[in-house]
Amino acid sequence: MSERPLEGRAGLVTGAGKGIGAAVLEAVAARGARVVGMDVDQEALAATVGRATAAGGTASAAAGDVSRFGDVEAAAGACRDRYDRVDFVVANAGVGNYSLMSDGDPEAWRRLLEVNLLGAAYTVRAVLAEMKRRRSGDVVLMASIAGRESWVGEPIYIASKWGMVGLARSLREECAPHEVRVTVVEPTMVDTPLVRSTEDGRRELDEYPALSAADVARFVVLALEQPPGVSVGEIVLRAVGPEIA
Catalytic residues: 157
Helix runs in 89-212, H state only: 106-113, 119-125, 128-134, 155-175, 193-196, 199-207
Type of residue at 150:
S
* Strands of the chain, DSSP E: 10-14, 34-39, 58-63, 88-91, 138-142, 181-187, 190-191, 211-212, 234-237
How many helices (H) and strands (E) the chain has is answered by 10, 9
Is residue 210 within 8 A of residue 188, CB to CB? The reply is yes
Q: How many CB atoms lie within 10 A of CB 14?
A: 32
Q: How far is CA 202 from CA 190, 192, 197, 198, in A?
A: 11, 10, 7, 6
Q: Are strands 211-212 and 234-237 parallel, antiparallel or unpaired?
A: unpaired
